[in-house]
A and B are shown apart, each in its own frame.
Chain A
Amino acid sequence: MSRLKQITNSANQKGRKLLIPYLVAGDPNKETTIDLMHALVSNGADIIELGIPFSDPSSDGEVIQSSIERSLRKGTSLNDTLDIVANFRARNEVTPIVLMGYLNPVEIMGIDNFVRRAQKDGVDGVLMVDMPPAEAGVLNAKLKEANVDSIFLVAPTTTQERVKSILNMTSGYVYYVSLKGVTGASITDVDEVERNVSALRTSTDLPIVVGFGIKDGKSAKEMARVSDGVIVGSALVNKIASLTSHEKLSAEDIKNSTNIIKEIREELDLDNEVVDEECL
């Protein structure tokens, strides 16, 4: 069974909501990214989405754009991103890693090379933001052969017919985009999210997680109530951004910047305990 399947199955059994932090590989630097990833796991992350830096991130808002720009100034490449995963795996065999990014770096590395390395380095899933299912055939087939999951976005604008074609290609989990816009905006219509996630639920057994616009424990809880979990990107990246001014990072710095994930975990588990008691 894949790492993603193990984690999502076990969360489902325990009624635990999935908590998926996103951070950009190489911001503030490669070594710190690895430390941050381990800290995120200790703070309650179930899965980590690791952003591949790309010069033209047209689906990202300012916070993630800036993080990517900082990472690119350090020269972080797709190769480095994969190295980070391999290094993380040396100390953690269980937490799934999903690479999220744009297609051009993968194309230039070559799809075969990329898939081979992703498998070898311990990548569990791949989400290419600018590669809709209609263009995903080749990469999708090769990832499947390598037992790496393909994750796609479903947006509020996605039509019913498209949902089908997206789900046909999706494994691991479904990433529901909570709003029209880019990463880091604010969710305005919780009811719409609830309606759309419920509709999705009738077409798939995969976990459905909600991302874009989750800022804190409160918004995470709201979204987790109607789904299987949440992705927290810009809010975490914003905390990491404050590290860049530090000359040398202390264990305290790492702890402070990832604390938001601990807070969100605690909020999410409050509900969980209530459920557990009811079950008893």
Chain B
Amino acid sequence: MLDLNLQELEGPDVRGHFGPYGGVYVGETLIAAVEELNSVYQTLSESDTFWSEFHHELNHYVGRPSPLYFADRLTQHCGGAKIYLKREDLNHTGAHKVNNTIGQALLAKHMGKTRIIAETGAGQHGVASATVAARLGLECHVYMGAEDIVRQAPNVYRMKLLGANVVSVESGSKTLKDALNEALRDWAKNVDDTYYIIGTVAGPHPYPQLVRDFQSVIGREAKEQSQKILGGLPDALVACVGGGSNAIGLFHPFLKDTTVSMYGVEAGGYGIDTGKHAAPLSAGTPGVLHGNRTYVMTDSNGQISPTHSVSAGLDYPGVGPEHSWLKDLKRVNYVSANDGEAMEAFHLLTKLEGIIPALESSHAVAYAMKLAKEIGDSRTILVNLSGRGDKDIETVARIEGIQI
């Protein structure tokens, strides 16, 4: 049992702090927009009508609730704890990302904004943003690192089909962090009519809070389903962490259930000790990036370090501030799985269960397989299968030298 002051888990405070993390660290031009969003969100989040509108969308458009699935053959293969998968891969657009974009699109609508911008790494958040923009008839611009555009070509085309303008970001490392910088620049220019849909639990307050609230549907459903299917709570939760929105979505409703242990799996890349990874919680230090104070990957001069992961969606040097706080409180264990382990899990889940997982989610599966052996067969593990892997098959083929 954990020794915890449960009150410390109730963040953020009114200024958006989770302990020493979070807050609002953006240029003055954006402050008014962030404050407006905060005031609208704090009002709407008290309104039952708003939440019933949100849940109506999730049920009828996204296809929720997503099933909790017993991965029988994977469990047998690992020879330990029972592994259950929360099937976010079955959502419309193929990942958990859409839970958040549905919620933020409702906010944009309430605020009368006519133009949507978003950043994307793997392209899943870009697709989910383009999707809701198409449905609401809003103009949509998605910023994407030039490198990611190459890595995730099918999603780029998907966004274009949905009517979005995909903007290639050529600055810095040409990946997700640079796409975020460019989106912030766009927002500063077009602050009057533009709503910025941030794709993860990072950014300035209130984003880490509101994205978490929208994604928490994952954990609430999982809790209910566990009661029905397992007859109680699972022993462990496992989710991958890039920015950390699928993980916080699963974890948050369980935070005060101290019998449930939690594992956030970061991208170990070529291995934590090589320095070529994307694991700020495992090997970073507290700093300030993209609007909040949080663990970041930085060199000794305070420059943000280049990251590496086989999965574009985890290839980010920062992490949501609530995760930083949960790490310091020791409520969540932050661990990592490297590229090779994730690839192996990708193949195993595909062959054993007929489910092709996203490379991001494969990191969670990889760690869950290890954990299952460790904790033994009387236990249950609930893994957030945050997305499907169709978008990744080209990447996998390329790495394995196969032409498709």
Closest chain A CB from B5 CB (angstroms): 24
Q: Which residues of B contact A181 (CB under 8 A)?
A: 29, 185, 188-189
B49 within 8 A of A: no
Q: Are B28 and A132 in contact (CB under 8 A)?
A: yes
**Considering the complex, which residues of chain A in the window 105-154 have a beta carbon less than 8 Å from any beta carbon of chain B?**
105-109, 129-132, 134-135, 152-154
B247 within 8 A of A: no
**Considering the complex, which residues of chain A in the window 151-165 have a beta carbon less than 8 Å from any beta carbon of chain B?**
152-159, 162
Apart from A107-B286, A129-B27, 14 more pairs, CB < 8 Å: A56-B172, A56-B304, A57-B181, A58-B180, A61-B185, A72-B303, A77-B301, A78-B302, A103-B25, A104-B298, A107-B293, A108-B287, A155-B27, A182-B188
With both beta carbons as reference points, the residue of chain B lying nearest to A153 in the complex is identified as B28
**Considering the complex, which residues of chain B in the window 175-221 have a beta carbon less than 8 Å from any beta carbon of chain A?**
177-178, 180-181, 184-185, 188-192
With both beta carbons as reference points, the residue of chain A lying nearest to B29 in the complex is identified as A155
**Considering the complex, which residues of chain A in the window 50-88 have a beta carbon less than 8 Å from any beta carbon of chain B?**
53-62, 65, 69, 72, 77-79
A interface, CB within 8 angstroms of B:
53-62, 65, 69, 72, 77-79, 102-109, 129-132, 134-135, 152-159, 162, 166, 177, 180-182, 185
Q: Are B185 and A106 in contact (CB under 8 A)?
A: no
Q: Are A108 and B302 in contact (CB under 8 A)?
A: yes
The distance in angstroms between the C-alpha atoms of A58 and B25, with both chains bound, is 11
Closest chain A CB from B136 CB (angstroms): 24
Q: Number of B residues contacting the other chain (C-beta, 8 Å)?
A: 40
Q: Are A104 and B304 in contact (CB under 8 A)?
A: yes
With both beta carbons as reference points, the residue of chain B lying nearest to A60 in the complex is identified as B185
The distance in angstroms between the C-alpha atoms of A231 and B29, with both chains bound, is 17
Q: Are B28 and A155 in contact (CB under 8 A)?
A: yes
Most buried by B among A53, A105, A129: A105
- From known contacts A104-B287, A104-B304, A108-B285, infer whether A180 and B296 are also in contact, taking CB-CB under 8 Å: no
Closest chain A CB from B277 CB (angstroms): 17
Q: Which residues of A contact B296 (CB under 8 A)?
A: 104
B106 within 8 A of A: no
B interface, CB within 8 angstroms of A:
15, 23-33, 171-172, 177-178, 180-181, 184-185, 188-192, 285-291, 293, 296, 298, 300-304
The distance in angstroms between the C-alpha atoms of A58 and B143, with both chains bound, is 13
- Give me the 6 closest cross-chain CB pairs, A-B, nearest first: A105-B302, A108-B302, A77-B301, A181-B189, A153-B28, A157-B32
Q: Are A104 and B302 in contact (CB under 8 A)?
A: yes
Closest chain B CB from A29 CB (angstroms): 17
Please name 23 pairs of A and B residues whose Cβ atoms are closer than 8 Å in the assembled complex, sorted by A. Answer: A54-B302, A55-B172, A56-B178, A56-B290, A56-B304, A59-B184, A69-B172, A77-B302, A104-B289, A105-B302, A107-B288, A108-B287, A108-B302, A109-B302, A130-B26, A130-B288, A131-B25, A132-B28, A135-B293, A153-B27, A154-B28, A155-B31, A157-B30
